[in-house]
Amino acid sequence: MAAAAAAATTSHKYLADTPQPSSESGMRFDELYRLKGVLGTGAFSTVREGFHRSSNDFSYAVKCINRKKLSEEDEAALLDEVSILKEMKHVHIIRLYDFFEEPSTYYLVMERMRGGELFDRIVAKAYYNEKEARDTCKIVLEAVRYCHDNHIAHRDLKPENLLLLSETDDSAVKIADFGFAKRVYEHNSLTTQCGTPGYVAPEILEGTPYDERADMWSVGVILYILLGGYPPFIESTQRDLFRKIRKGEYEFHEEYWGTVSQEAKDLISSLLTVDAGTRLTAEDALDNQWIMGDDAQLAKRDLGANLEKFRNFNAKRKFRAAVSTIIAINKFNSLKDDFFTSLKETSVQVADLKADIKEKEMLASMHHVHKD
């Protein structure tokens, strides 16, 4: 009971109201907040540690965006993202506490995520079992259900967007980066081809109208990785990758899936369904037999044999992200430095640089993009 009460207190702490006075007071950002060290840098922004002047007890991640570097389209997308994030108040969704629109700069006062990426935490474990994978999947499903109940499709669910609030609590998982998020009030009302290769739903690749059910496909991919240690769709070329996704061609290889619960595999199959109309909703998935399964029994199902495969996948994923980030930043800032020198000097830091260039990476990676 004490532990539960402590957890509840912690949750309420992180879901506290916006610090007062806020931007609604009409006061400038620098009148209400003071900035400290840099937490990360991107093509269009810098993320710095910030404190509200009323208290030093709580720090925030303040995203400072140079308005001069934004195109009209970028600016509209940012304001749309802010509008959505302001409505999101769930313990497993990153919180936007306040937003300042000033002549030269936008300031987003965000919840500070100190624990890094979820997948990095998992691969650092010495032991790993189905209960841990189930608990993580349940958290993601609860957050996705909240989004969908509030008519929001995330449209870019992937490992990079599953972050941890603290360095010690594995359950403090948050969905982040709502840059592609869109309001959905009618079935099949979205048309923009967006997302991340490997996680994007087949209906998006086909160019047909879609809705929030595309997120459930991405959840299926994430769950497959959580249990198997590698993605369901792997090909050497993007063309072949997209072909497999459109056809829903994947398998449970005996070497890695032979000891995994059949109920878990059934859940994945119900999510990685090409026909979005028959794909499980987040609500249905939370009622699944595996999600509701006995903790003790799931804890007995060791995934240690798949953990090494998971580590290899995660290392490759991080390296690809590092290379893509440096290429994009060098391109957007018209840097003249040699690429490989830049890669050597910054590869340790690139994990913190992804947020502001995601949309540009996606524009390059997808065949074409048109607006909803």
- Confidence (pLDDT) at 363: 39
Residue 273 maps to a domain: yes
Give 329's pLDDT tier (boundaries 50, 70, 90): low
* Whether residues 139 and 216 fall in one domain: yes
DSSP character at residue 119: H
Give 333's pLDDT tier (boundaries 50, 70, 90): low
pTM recorded for the entire structure: 0.82
Give 327's pLDDT tier (boundaries 50, 70, 90): low
> Which one of 307, 339, 356 terminates a domain?
307
User: Is residue 343 predicted with pLDDT exceeding 60?
Assistant: no
* Whether residues 249 and 106 fall in one domain: no
Convert the pLDDT of each residue in 299-321 to its tens digit: 999 998 899 899 988 888 877 66
d(CA 78, CA 71): 10
User: Is residue 83 predicted with pLDDT exceeding 70?
Assistant: yes
> Which one of 275, 307, 339 terminates a domain?
307
User: Is residue 45 predicted with pLDDT exceeding 80?
Assistant: yes
Convert the pLDDT of each residue in 247-283 to its tens digit: 999 999 999 999 999 999 999 999 999 999 999 999 9
* Whether residues 141 and 105 fall in one domain: no
- Decide if 156 is catalytic: yes
The CATH number given to whatever domain includes residue 19 is 3.30.200.20
DSSP character at residue 270: H
* Whether residues 100 and 157 fall in one domain: no
Residue 264 maps to a domain: yes
> Which one of 281, 307, 333 terminates a domain?
307
* Whether residues 145 and 73 fall in one domain: no
Which residue pairs, CB below 8 angstroms and at least 24 apart, start in 189-194? 189/372, 190/153, 190/155, 190/214, 190/372, 191/370, 191/371, 191/372, 192/155, 192/369, 192/370, 192/371, 192/372, 193/366, 193/367, 193/368, 193/369, 193/370, 194/155, 194/156, 194/362, 194/366, 194/369
Residue span of the structural domain in which 287 resides: 118-307
* Whether residues 268 and 165 fall in one domain: yes
Number of domains comprising the chain: 2
Give the burial string for 293-317 (b: 16+ CB within 10 Å, else e): beeeebeebebeebbebbbebbeeb
Residue 332 maps to a domain: no
If you compute the radius of gyration of the chain from its CA atoms, what whole number of angstroms results?
A: 21
* Whether residues 124 and 238 fall in one domain: yes
* Whether residues 150 and 96 fall in one domain: no
Residue 328 maps to a domain: no
Higher-pLDDT residue of 333, 351:
333
Give 335's pLDDT tier (boundaries 50, 70, 90): very low
- Confidence (pLDDT) at 16: 62
* Whether residues 72 and 176 fall in one domain: no
Residue 212 maps to a domain: yes
Residue 360 maps to a domain: no
* Whether residues 28 and 149 fall in one domain: no
- Cα–Cα distances in angstroms (integers) from residue 291 to residues 222, 230, 239, 242, in the given order: 15, 21, 34, 29
* Whether residues 296 and 223 fall in one domain: yes
Return the structure tokens found at 175: 């969905």
- Confidence (pLDDT) at 133: 96
Residue 7 maps to a domain: no
Residue with tokens 């060791």: 302
Q: Which of 17, 30, 120, 156 is catalytic?
A: 156
Residue 318 maps to a domain: no
* Whether residues 200 and 300 fall in one domain: yes
User: Is residue 140 predicted with pLDDT exceeding 70?
Assistant: yes
The CATH number given to whatever domain includes residue 137 is 1.10.510.10
Convert the pLDDT of each residue in 175-231 to its tens digit: 999 999 999 999 999 999 999 999 999 999 999 999 999 999 999 999 999 999 999
